[in-house]
Amino acid sequence: MSDAPAYDIDPATFWADPYPDLKRMRADTPICFVPQLGATLITRRDAIFDNEKKTDVFSSDQPDGLMTVLMGQNMMRKDGDAHMAERKAIFPTVSPKTVNRVWTDQFRAATAKILDDLAPKGACDLVSDYAMPVSAEALKAMTGLTNMTAHEMNRVSQGMIDGCANYAGDPAVTANCHDCTASIDRHIDAMIPVVDAAPDHSLLSVQRRAGLPDDQVRANIKLAISGGQNEPRDAIAGAVWALLTHPDQLAQTRNATYTWLQAFEEYARWMSPIGMSPRRVAKPHKVDTVTFAPEDRVFLMFGSGNRDEAVFTNPDAFDMSQNCSAAISFGAGPHFCAGAWASKALIGDVALPMLFDRIPDLQLDGDTPFGGWAFRGPLTMPVRWAN
């Protein structure tokens, strides 16, 4: 393993709120080995930004990694030409042009229907009753799995996320992940003849037309679901919570001092729905005073980099007045999130403005607990309004 200094965490405390530990790491041991995670963490923004691009050293190719073992080797777990070939194959689904011309109108139509059903109720859990179905309906369209219910999309996404973060090796979590990937395969099987007969812009359709092998098509759809459901869900609900708990900034967004997209981007910096990305060390390497050995496991801590005091003026606050352009919420380098444009459209152009327009008197109605460090978001969010 690396010769980085050790830093011990309490896993339960770290899951509940990783930011105090991450702040101490940045200050005292910015590259440190955490025994409880079995990995070396890189915590400062510039070090993450620079080293993520060194794929010859910090490789995404992790044959024994949880994601590869449980979901198949998707494009996120490849580097170089292999990664770029699959990224090119899916581009017709996720390009800014397709998002603008195809998906955004579908996002709006699905969200309007969800709000039509929700508005008369006067109260809900914003995570499960709004953010979850808005995210799921968008993902159903983009993947091509329109035969899957929103609740099943959410279930299989969470099951894979839990499996990929199952560093303790809980067999029940692994079994549930296998059940979730099997469900996705069944839904893919049913939709293949549909998209072959009527090709569209969905991920299933464009990959098949590009001639990708079946195992790669399936692995990339599982990748899209594992990140494309829980992260927008958590960002929608979390950004709403941030605005409701900062009413001055909500008012400034409503009067167009700030945009809804700025609200999303600042929230994603502040609370980082994607908190880290794992890497495998491919060859001996040294960063600052720390020497890495082949096969070391490294976590690039995006959530820490996004609160780096050396980069952001008010790092621990939700503050749309600060410049968050240096945030690494979507990663950096060749593995920059391919779904970034879709996420920005869904959240900044659709989910936030449509919610506050339809329910202008939205209020919190209880506590909103957060959880997670690899993936982070609100667990429940009771809200109410006059119906």
Average pLDDT, the chain: 93
Q: What pLDDT was estimated at residue 35?
A: 96
Distance CA 368, CA 382 (A): 7
Is residue 230 in some structural domain? yes
Q: CA dist 85 to 8, 118, 186, 278, Å?
A: 40, 42, 26, 21
- Are the beta carbons of 32 and 41 closer than 8 angstroms? yes
Is residue 277 in some structural domain? yes
Is residue 1 in some structural domain? no
Mean pLDDT of the 17-32 span: 98
Question: Please, what sign has the CA dihedral across residues 188, 226, 158, 147?
Answer: negative
Is residue 6 in some structural domain? no
Report which secondary-structure segment, H or E, holds 58: strand 58-59
For residue 118, what are its two tokens? 């929700």
Q: Does position 183 have pLDDT exceeding 80, yes or no?
A: yes
Question: Please, what sign has the CA dihedral across residues 12, 37, 278, 2?
Answer: positive
Report which secondary-structure segment, H or E, holds 281: strand 277-281
- Among residues 163, 159, 165, the alpha carbon closest in space to that of 38 is found at 165
Q: Could you tell me the pLDDT band of residue 76, with boundaries at 50, 70 and 90?
A: low
Mean pLDDT of the 60-75 span: 72
3-class DSSP state for residue 380?
coil
> What is the tens place of the pLDDT at every residue in 187-229?
999 999 999 999 999 999 999 999 999 999 999 999 999 888 9
Q: What are phi and psi of 6, to 5 degrees?
A: -80, 145
Distance CA 364, CA 366 (A): 6
Distance CA 33, CA 1 (A): 9
Widest CA span in the chain? 62
- Are the beta carbons of 75 and 319 closer than 8 angstroms? no
Mean pLDDT of the 157-164 span: 88
> What is the tens place of the pLDDT at every residue in 248-282?
999 999 999 999 999 999 999 999 999 999 999 99
The string of DSSP codes covering 353-383 is: HHHHHH-TT-EE-S---EE-SSB-EES--EE
Sheet holding 31-34, edge to edge: 31-34, 39-42, 297-300, 277-281, 58-59
For residue 22, what are its two tokens? 């991450």
Q: Does position 62 have pLDDT exceeding 80, yes or no?
A: no
The string of DSSP codes covering 134-157 is: HHHHHHHHHHT-TTS-HHHHHHHH
Residue-number span of the structural domain to which 206 is assigned: 11-384
Q: What pLDDT was estimated at residue 387?
A: 74
Q: Could you tell me the pLDDT band of residue 79, with boundaries at 50, 70 and 90?
A: confident
Q: Does position 7 have pLDDT exceeding 80, yes or no?
A: yes
Residues listed for the chain: 387
Is residue 4 in some structural domain? no
Distance CA 132, CA 150 (A): 8
Residue with tokens 């440190």: 32
Is residue 338 in some structural domain? yes
Q: What pLDDT was estimated at residue 348?
A: 97
Residue with tokens 């449980």: 70
Mean pLDDT of the 230-253 span: 97
Q: What pLDDT was estimated at residue 84?
A: 81
Q: Could you tell me the pLDDT band of residue 75, with boundaries at 50, 70 and 90?
A: low
Q: What pLDDT was estimated at residue 9?
A: 97
> What is the tens place of the pLDDT at every residue in 302-356?
999 999 999 999 999 999 999 999 999 988 777 677 788 999 999 999 999 999 9
- Are the beta carbons of 236 and 137 closer than 8 angstroms? no
Q: What pLDDT was estimated at residue 63?
A: 73
Backbone dihedral region for residue 118 (phi beyond 0: left; psi -120 to 50: alpha; all else: beta): alpha
Distance CA 382, CA 126 (A): 6
Is residue 3 in some structural domain? no
Is residue 272 in some structural domain? yes
Q: What pLDDT was estimated at residue 344?
A: 96
CB count within 10 Å of CB 387 equals: 11
C-alpha R_g of the chain: 20
Q: Could you tell me the pLDDT band of residue 181, with boundaries at 50, 70 and 90?
A: very high
Amino acid, single-letter form, for residue 183: S
Q: Give the predicted TM-score (pTM) of the model.
A: 0.94
Which CATH number belongs to the domain containing residue 331 in this structure? Answer: 1.10.630.10
The C-alpha angle 355, 135, 347, rounded to 5 degrees, equals 50
The C-alpha angle 16, 356, 123, rounded to 5 degrees, equals 65
Distance CA 226, CA 375 (A): 11
- Among residues 46, 288, 69, the alpha carbon closest in space to that of 178 is found at 69
More confident residue, 88 or 184: 184
Distance CA 65, CA 5 (A): 24
Please count the structural domains in the chain: 1
